[in-house]
Every structure is written in C-alpha cells, then in structure tokens.
Homo-oligomer: A and B are copies of this chain.
Amino acid sequence: MARPNASMTARERARAELTREIKDEAKRQLAVAGADGLSLRAVARKLGMASSALYRYFPSRDDLLTALIIDAYNSLGTAVESAAVDGDPRARWTAACWAVRAWARANPHEYALIYGSPVPGYRAPQATAGPAGRAPLVFIEIARNAAPPGTVAGGAALQGALADQAAKLAAALAGADTVLAGADTVLAGADRVPPATLVRGVIALTQLFGMVSFELFGQFVGSFEPADDFFGHAVAQMITFVGL
C-alpha cells in the first residue's frame, strides 16, 4: 500500500489516507466484535460515509480482512525484527520472545486474527505467506548458530518424514528470497540451518505461541496470571533447549 508522499496527486494522497483510515477503523471494530463481526457498514458509518463507498477501496469484505491479516503479520514481524537486533544469541532470542508477547498483548485482536481459530469460510490468499514468515524467520536466524543439538541433553535423531521435512525446509530457507516472496531475506546467502536445530527452533516457536495463546485466550485465569514470571522462566528453559 502506497504511503502518502510528496510526488502524489491530491487524489492519490486522499486515497492512501482513506485506505489507511478504513483499516484503522476496521481494526478498532475487531476489538469489539471479532473477525466475524467485522462489518463494512459499521466501518462506513463510523467514517461518516456511505457503505457503498468502501467498495472503491476494497472489492469485498474478505479483501479488507486479508489486508488486516497482512498488516498484522507485518506489524508483528517488524516488532520482532527490531527487538532482536543486537546482543548475543541468548539476548536476541529472549528479546524476540518478549517482543512477540508484548505485541500480542498490545494487539490482542490482531493476534487472534492470525494465530487464533481460522475465520470460517475465509481462505487466506497466498499473499499472506511472506508476511506470515517474518517473525518465525527471526527466531530461526538466531538459532542458526546454536550448539549442535547432539551436545544438548535429550537430543534425539530426526525420524521418518520429519527428517525429510526439516531438510527441505532448511534448503528452502537458504533460498528464502525466492521461496518466501515478500519476506525480508534475513537468511539470504546464509549457511543452511542444521535440520536438527531447525526442528528445535520450531518446537520452541510452538511453545512460545502456545504460551501467548494460553495467556491471551484466558487459559491461565486463576493459575499463572499475571504470566510475566511464568513466561520469563519458560523462555529461559527454552533457550537451554534450543542450545543457545
């Protein structure tokens, strides 16, 4: 989406701004009614325009939803990328984990949109794949030079289909720029990630997002809420597991 810019005509500037306002208002509505409750008419009403006018900006409700999903992935991706810029791998991994949690808590409905239950009847188009990969890529990149899992307690060889999947994914990541169109190519030109390390990283990712989902979706109510210390403790264990 083009951002306002000096070299744009008044019409183009107005279009970029209104597109932005529509998405902003739609995000506000997510918080009230969730993804299924997102209503073009309600957005238009809040913006003081006819509902039919929105069709000049988004051809349908689903296209608006897709735009919100892409924005959410990119927003999370930016947050994680910029949190994990410096320090040793442990510091970077830790910062990235806290960035995911902080972003999710600050944007719970956008988090639910991308990591919660899928919206029934909605099928995410291919265009979401690149943005969706940004946050995970940061973690994989940090783990790339972790100690070989063989040296870590409990390390087990990859078996069956898992070995193939991990090898294929490692190969794809080495050429990430061509495979994940639109993703920042953090790994471009890098060494391949050892498949065992990759698997450990992805296991850690499921752990991370599992915790954040539990916290946000209310599974911790009455036990580990507030979850700050639980989270910090788990992240420390995770670092050991990944071998950083």
Residues of A within 8 A of B (CB): 32-37, 112-113, 115-121, 124, 129, 152-154, 156, 158-162, 165-166, 169, 199, 202-203, 206-211, 213-214, 217-219, 222-224, 226, 228-230, 232-234, 236-237, 240-241
Contacts and interface: CB of A to CB of B under 8 A. Distances in A.
A161 B209 contact: no
Tell me how many chains of this kind the complex includes: 2
21 contacts: A34-B117, A36-B36, A115-B213, A116-B217, A118-B217, A153-B153, A153-B240, A154-B241, A156-B233, A159-B229, A161-B226, A161-B229, A162-B224, A165-B229, A165-B230, A166-B224, A169-B223, A202-B230, A206-B210, A213-B213, A237-B241
Interface of A is mostly: helix
Contacts of A156: 233, 236-237
Contacts of A218: 118, 124
A120 B241 contact: no
A210 B172 CA distance: 24
Given A209-B210, A223-B169, A161 B202 contact: no
A152 B152 CA distance: 12
A87 to B, nearest CB: 20
A112 B117 CA distance: 6
Given A165-B223, A165-B229, 11 more contacts: A33-B121, A112-B117, A153-B153, A153-B154, A154-B241, A162-B224, A169-B223, A169-B224, A202-B230, A203-B207, A203-B234
